[in-house]
Amino acid sequence: MMKPGTIILYTAARFLVPLQLLFSVFLLLRGHNEPGGGFIAGLVAAGAFTLYLFTFGSAVTRDLMRVDPRNLIGIGLFIGMLSVFPAVFQGQAFLTAQWWPIMLPGGTEIKLSTPLIFDIGVYLTVVGATMTMIIALTEAEER
Amino acid sequence: MQLAVLVIYLAALITPWLFVQHQHRTAYIMALVPAVLTIWFATHIPLVAGGEVLIHEYQWIPGLDISLTMVLDGLSLMFALLICGIGTLIVLYAGAYLKGNPAQNRFLVILLAFMGSMLGLVLADNLITLFVFWELTSITSYMLIGFNHQSAEARKAALQGLIVTVAGGLALLCGLVMLASIAGSYSIQEILGSSEALTEHPLFVGMLICLLLGAFTKSAQFPFHFWLPNAMAAPTPVSAYLHSATMVKAGIYLLARLQPELGESGLWTILLSSFGAMTMLTGAFMAVRSTDLKKLLAYSTIMALGTLTLLIGIGTETAMIAFAAYLLAHSLYKGALFMLAGIVDHEAGSRDVTLLGGLRKNLPLTAILVAVAALSLAGIPPLFGFVAKELLLESMLGGAFHSFIYVFVMVASIFVVTVASVIALRPFFGTFKAPKEKEKIHEPPIAMLAGPVVLVFLSLVAGIIPGTVGSWVTLPASTAVAGGVVEGYLALWHGLNLPLLLSGISIAVGLVLFKYWDAFRSRLQVLDPIIARGPERGYFWFMDAIVWVAEWQTRILQNGSMRNYLRTIVLVFVGLTGYTLLTRYQLHWNWDVNLYFHELVTVGILVAAAIAACITHSRLGSVAAMGAVGFSVALIFILFSAPDLGITQILVETLTVILLVLVLFRLPSFSNISTTRERIRDAIVALLVGVLIMFLIMITIDVQLFEPISGYMIENSYTLAHGRNIVNVILVDYRALDTLGEIFVLALAAMGVYAMIKFNPATSPGSNHYAGTLILGEKKLAEKDIIHSLEEIHQKMLEDQNIISAGAMKDRNDNDDDDEDDSPNSSYDEDRDHDDSQAAKRKAEEHDDDAENEDKEGKKS
């Protein structure tokens, strides 16, 4: 199972991976105004999963991800495509950004928009594509 | 009109559902669609005959000047009537012909789709739309010809038809684009309406040749005629439809459509009349040689297509009148004859006229119908074919041509009379001959007879009242082809004149030839070797050449060496970009930059890392060095205030290193394969790229071709796009379409990597749950490869040299060495039995081992 020498990695991964994932979501959501965005956030998340993968192996990582990374690619592309169409119903050109600002009770404004949806699509595709490659490579490594 | 085309496609779409409930009766329901359309088009006859042109405008891609506008003039109307009218009969016929065939469903869908494409083709006003429908007919006809896809012959014929017509289609596309760029519009109506002289344009000859290639391949003109007889592999309804009203007539339609604009060119006249005459003669000649009913008809179609091309080439008013009349006559009798040939084949079990005879008692109605249709084919009064033939001869005499064309026309009309007599008489008269028993041969169901009856009836009626048919249908078409009002009339009786005399001669000689047909045919067998070297040979040669070239260029370009790929790509890039750079811009030397100390340090690290990556002898080292390069670049990004780029660079670098490390394990150990010369060459290539990029960067600093767009983006980033991070706003808003494309590329790349690994049996994933944890399992040698003791080696050597027998040694071994396991020994024996050469190799290795061991022992002692 696990060699004693990897105890540091083992412990670090358990703490780091959730933080990294949280950070990736943070990057994703703030991306429109500060450095960040779907692509970067996706890479951070992929990095987190890769760390987990190196520590615990592919089967456990697959369990953690819950979704097959290949499906994640499809879901990401689908969400990305979803953001294309709302503009058409408004009579505008494809992909024209739509904004739906919502005021929360606390006085905070949340701006929902098609660029956000699109960014989420990018995020999922990047995570899916990277993890598909890495998991495939690791699983093929040894028998 | 757009709706008319759409309705047919929709009908094709719902056919599978109807088929589940109604089986072969679906065809009868589906025949209603073209029937209704025929009536709808027929209601437009008075309007169009009055000289009006209906235009239904509809935009498709206005930005590219592509519209779905459809135009109904005399020519389109005649074609539309033929397509829908004969289409109705064909669908009915197919319902009975393919009754009980489980794939009838599929057949109807393709047939209707084909019909819709053909209708769209003749109605389209836009050149690009016309081309789209043109290609759709190629594709659907491919599926129709290859309908019996279990038969290798059908597949081959379908592919041949597809390759020939689609290759022509490519040429056509070039021709159409050139035409549009010369005439300044994609709309056929506008091109025809413009007064610009196209013939003077330098592109004219190229355009003409491209257009003609497209039309000639589609319409099976010599030397591309060979695909049409092979397309006989299709079910009979398809042949009937393809030959009578559609597909092959598409090329003719295009020629006729462009005749008003291009007809003035001398080259057009020469090419069309000579190729038309050649095709006509080839078709007639090949028809006389054939014995298969469908082949006879197919070659006579080629003859007719040649005649039509010839008529367009002549280009006089009489020729235009003859063209429309001949087209109508041919569609009517050819559709009927093909369906009747299908009936004979279906009922009597063969379509070879030499195997058939005396069928008139069993198939009386069919015999009469074939006789009448064949009269029209031969051009005998009072059928419409006669009217058309008279006009053909008349327009021939009117045009001034080289004498060989007259000879061709006469020979062709003589042969056609012979062919018509063969079709009409051979299967039905004389003593009874048929593969099936006489009692089993009977008239087919009404649905199969309906088509021929209607078409033959129309041939007859049109022949009796040619004036009316002329003024309603063919003259408006002639007007459209001539590009101006045509004065003329259609009549059975033109008076005693030269055409009538020629007609009479051709009929008489043709009948004589029929009498000696069998003898004539056997005489012609001498020519077989020459015919075998015909254009079809060229087609096969061409196909072989494609394969050969593909192999050759794959060997050169796709040689599997990563280094070669890189070198090719890089050198092409350097060549093209460098050439542009040197010819268009002045090279700048811009060393005048102020660098801070920390920037210099970063650049120093960068350069050092790059050099280290080049010269290191360890793979891990070069990966690490490349990582250092990447991180230095990221640092530079951050120093020049591009945090997004910096973050992305760092992340990408990290993941790249991870991926490289994963792949690294799979690579063979590091070794020096390259010679010094190769290294120097590679270094030069790398230097070239580096220097080029350096110059490019210097140029981009100094030269500004356009006003930079970044100003607009910065200004509007927050106001319009609600985002302060411009990089992200560009990615998800300004340039969202690019990003969308990129994530699709990323997804495809991931799938590619996955497929490469997954479908390699040696590396199929999922077998090792702890893979990738960097916890490497113990490498295990196969049991037989493990050598346990020195004794064992000696023993094997002795065994190999046959000094002792394996069994005896084994016993001794067991006694001598109790600790040792038996299994390696015995498995070794097996191995040796199986593969002597392997054993010999191993022996050689063991010799070395042995020597080494002995050396060691010697040292010890």
- DSSP per-residue string spanning B318-346: HHHHHHHHHHHHHHHHHHHHHHHHHHHHH
Q: Using CA atoms, how far apart are residues B328 and B317, in angstroms rounded to an integer?
A: 17
CA distance B743 to B735: 13
pLDDT of B134 over the 80 cut: yes
Whole-angstrom Cα distance, residue B350 to residue B356? 7
Residues B151-157 have a mean pLDDT of 87
Residue of B222, B147, B163, B226 lying closest to B547 (CA atoms): B163
Contact A77 B743 (CB under 8 A): yes
- Minimal-distance CA residue of chain A relative to B730: A32
* Residue B215: pLDDT band with limits 50, 70, 90: very high
Using the predicted structure, report yes or no on whether residue B765 has a pLDDT greater than 70: no
> Which amino acid is located at B572 in the chain?
V
The confidence score (pLDDT) of residue B39 equals 92
Question: A47 contacts in B (CB within 8 Å)?
Answer: 651, 654-655
Residues B497-506: contacts with CB within 8 Å, 24+ apart? Answer: B497/B394, B498/B393, B498/B397, B499/B390, B499/B393, B499/B394, B499/B397, B500/B390, B502/B393, B502/B410, B502/B413, B503/B379, B503/B386, B503/B389, B503/B390, B503/B393, B503/B413, B505/B410, B506/B379, B506/B410, B506/B413, B506/B414, B506/B416, B506/B417
C-alpha to C-alpha distance for B633 and B646, rounded to whole angstroms: 8
* Candidate from B725, B765, B777 with C-beta closest to A139: B765
Say whether A38 and B776 touch across the interface (CB within 8 A): no
Please report the sign of the dihedral spanned by the C-alpha atoms of residue B671, residue B674, residue B676, residue B682: negative
Contacts of B763 in chain A (CB under 8 A): 140-141
Tokens 């012959």 identify what position? Answer: B153
Question: Looking at residue B725, what is its pLDDT?
Answer: 79
What's the pLDDT score for residue B175?
A: 93
| A chain contacts of residue B727, beta-carbon cutoff 8 Å | 35, 37
Chain B CB contacts of A119 under 8 Å are 728, 731-732
Are the Cβ atoms of B739 and A122 closer than 8 angstroms? yes
What whole-number distance in Å separates Cα of residue B500 and Cα of residue A100? Answer: 83
The residues near B616 (Cβ < 8 Å, ≥ 6 apart) are B622, B625
CA of A82: which chain B residue's CA is closest?
Answer: B740
How much is the pLDDT for B805?
A: 60
Cα B635 to Cα B650: distance, rounded to the nearest angstrom? 9
**How does residue B661 score in pLDDT terms, banded at 50, 70 and 90?**
confident
Q: What sign results for the dihedral spanned by CA atoms B273, B276, B282, B285?
A: negative
Three-state SS annotation for B416-478: HHHHHHHHHHCCCCCCCECCCCHHHCCCCCHHHHHHHHHHHHHHHHHHHCHHHHHHHHHHHHH
Kindly state the average pLDDT of the residues B786-799.
67
- Residues of B within 8 A of A46 (CB-CB) are 655
Asked if pLDDT for residue B764 goes beyond 60, the answer is: no
Of A6, A118, A132, the CB nearest to B732: A118
Q: B71 in helix, strand or coil?
A: strand
Q: Can you tell me the mean pLDDT for B420-438?
A: 83
> Does residue A68 come out as left (phi exceeding 0), alpha (psi in the -120 to 50 range) or beta?
beta
Model confidence pLDDT, tens digit, residues B612-629: 988 888 888 888 888 899
User: Residue A111: how many CB atoms within 10 A of its CB?
Assistant: 14
Q: Identify the burial level of B511 via C-beta atoms within 10 angstroms of its C-beta, where 0-12 means exposed, 13-18 middle and 19 or more buried.
A: middle
Q: How far is A2 from chain B (nearest CA, A)?
A: 8
What are the structure tokens assigned to B94, written together? 């197919």
Distance (Å, rounded) from C-alpha B469 to C-alpha B676? 85
pLDDT at A120: 92
Contacts with A137 from chain B: Cβ below 8 Å: 659, 662-663, 753, 757, 772
Quick one: A47 exposed, middle or buried, by C-beta within 10 A (0-12, 13-18, 19+)?
buried
CB under 8 Å to B552, separation ≥6 — which residues?
none
Q: Where residue B746 falls among pLDDT bands split at 50, 70, 90?
A: very high
Q: Both tokens of residue B706? A: 């356009």
Chain B partners within 8 Å of A133 (Cβ): 659, 749-750, 753-754
Residue A98 Cα, gap to closest chain B Cα (Å): 9
- Chain B CB contacts of A72 under 8 Å are none
What CA–CA distance (Å, rounded) separates B615 from B610? 9
Q: Which residues of B touch A81 (CB under 8 A)?
A: 740
B710 min Cα distance to partner chain A (Å) = 17
- Alpha carbon distance B14, B715 (integer Å): 53
Q: Both tokens of residue B278?
A: 């050649």
Q: Residue B740 is encoded by which pair of tokens?
A: 């969308």
Amino acid at B320: M
In the predicted structure, residue B283 carries a pLDDT above the cut 80: yes
pLDDT at B594 over 80: no
The mean per-residue pLDDT over the stretch A40-65 comes to: 88
Cβ of B771 within 8 Å of Cβ of A111? The answer is no
The percent of residues above 90 in pLDDT, for chain B, comes to 15
CB proximity list for B725: less than 8 A, separation 6 or greater? A31, A32, A33, A34, A35, A36, A37, B644
Neighbours of A108 (CB within 10 A): 8
Determine, for residues B651 and A128 on separate chains, whether the beta-carbon distance falls below 8 Å: no
User: Which residue would you say has higher pLDDT here, B255 or A108?
Assistant: B255
CA dist B175 and B169 (Å) reads 9
Token reading at A27: 């990057």
Q: For residue B745, which residues of chain A lie inside 8 Å, CB to CB?
A: none
How many interface pairs between A and B have CB atoms less than 8 angstroms apart?
A: 193
**Residue bearing the bigger pLDDT, B404 or B414:** B414
- How far is B34 from B40, CA to CA, in rounded Å? 10
Q: How many CA atoms lie within 13 A of B27 on its CB side?
A: 27
The residue type at B844: A
Averaged pLDDT for residues B7-32: 85
ipTM: 0.91
Residues B359-387 pLDDT 10s: 888 888 888 899 999 988 888 878 888 88
**B54 φ, ψ (degrees, to nearest 5):** -85, 130
Residue range B532-591, pLDDT digits in tens? 777 778 888 888 898 899 888 888 887 777 788 888 899 999 999 988 888 887 776 766
* Structural contact between residues B72 and B80, judged by C-beta atoms closer than 8 angstroms: yes
Q: What is the mean pLDDT of residues B813-826?
A: 46
Contact B83/B230 with Cβ under 8 angstroms? no
**Residues β-bridged to residue A101:** A111
Apex A114 CA angle, A110 and A117, nearest 5: 85
Does the pLDDT value for residue B500 go beyond 80? Answer: yes
Of the pLDDT bands very low, low, confident and very high (cuts 50, 70, 90), residue B445 is confident
pLDDT of residue B132: 93
Q: State pLDDT tens for residues B263-275.
A: 878 888 888 888 9
Taken in order B731, B734, B735, B740, the sign of the CA dihedral is positive
Q: Which two tokens stand for residue A93?
A: 């050109």
Are B769 and A58 within 8 A, CB to CB?
A: yes
Sorting pLDDT into bands at 50, 70 and 90, what band is B789? low
- Phi, psi dihedral angles at B66 (to 5 degrees): -110, 125
**Quick check: A73 and B777 CB within 8 A?**
no
- Is pLDDT larger for residue A98 or for residue B161? B161
Q: Which of B663, B743, B768 sits opposite A142 (nearest CB)?
A: B768
Residue B554 is predicted with a pLDDT of: 83
Q: Could you tell me how many helices (H) and strands (E) chain B has, helices first?
A: 38, 4
Can you tell me which residue has the tokens 């890495």? A134
Q: With the C-alpha atoms ordered B659, B662, B664, B666, is the resulting torsion angle positive or negative? A: negative
Question: Are residues B768 and A122, on separate chains, in Cβ contact within 8 Å?
Answer: no
- Give the per-residue pLDDT at A49: 92
More confident site: B125 or B716: B125
For B67, what's the count of Cα atoms within 13 Å in the CB-facing half-sphere? Answer: 19
Hey, is B70 helix, strand or coil? strand
Amino acid identity, position B99: K
Q: Which residue has the higher pLDDT, B418 or B847?
A: B418
Residue (of B314, B520, B517, B500) closest to B400 by Cα position: B314
Q: Is the pLDDT of residue A66 over 80?
A: yes
Mean pLDDT of all residues in chain B?
Answer: 81
Task: Give the pLDDT band (50/70/90) at residue B735.
Answer: confident
Mutant choice from A118, A133, A134, A135 vs B, greatest count of B C-beta within 10 A: A133
- Which residues in chain A have Cβ-Cβ distances shorter than 8 Å to B663? 137
Chain B residues touching A118 at Cβ < 8 A: 732, 736, 739-740
Instruction: Tell me the nearest-neighbour CA distance from B738 into chain A, angstroms.
Output: 11
Comparing CB atoms, the residue among A2, A97, A125 nearest residue B747 is A125
Q: Is pLDDT of B817 > 60?
A: no
Q: Which residues of B touch A32 (CB under 8 A)?
A: 722-725, 728-729, 732
Highest mean pLDDT of the ranges A21-35, B394-408, B512-526: A21-35
Q: Which residue of A has its CA nearest to B638?
A: A35
Cβ of B747 and A57 within 8 Å? no
Closest CA of chain B from A19, distance in Å: 16
State yes or no: pLDDT of B516 exceeds 70.
yes
CB B472 within 8 A of CB B397: no
| Angle subtended at Cα B722 by Cα B718 and Cα B724, rounded to the nearest 5 degrees | 50
DSSP H or E run through B532: helix B528-532
Is A6's CB within 8 Å of B774's CB?
yes
Q: What was the pLDDT predicted at B60? A: 83
The answer to whether the CB atoms of B773 and A59 lie below 8 A apart is no
Q: Do residues B31 and B95 lie in contact, with contact meaning Cβ atoms separated by under 8 Å?
A: yes
Structure tokens of B86?
Answer: 């004969």
- pLDDT of residue A20 exceeding 90, the answer is yes
pLDDT at B713: 76
What are the helix (H) ranges across B98-197? 104-123, 127-145, 152-183, 188-193
Between B106 and B714, the more confident residue is: B106
Question: Which of B653, B664, B728, B756 to mutate against chain A (most A CBs within 10 Å)?
Answer: B728
B311 contacts B273 by C-beta, under 8 angstroms = no
Out of A53, A76, A137, whose CB is closest to B659? A137
Continuous segment of H or E residues that includes residue A111: strand A109-113
Quote the pLDDT of residue B401: 64
Q: How far is CA A5 from CA B4, B775, B778, in A?
A: 76, 10, 16
* Minimal Cβ distance to B746: which of A57, A81, A129: A129
Cis peptide bond upstream of B223, omega within 30: yes
- Of B238-247, B346-355, B463-472, B796-805, the range with the lowest mean pLDDT is B796-805
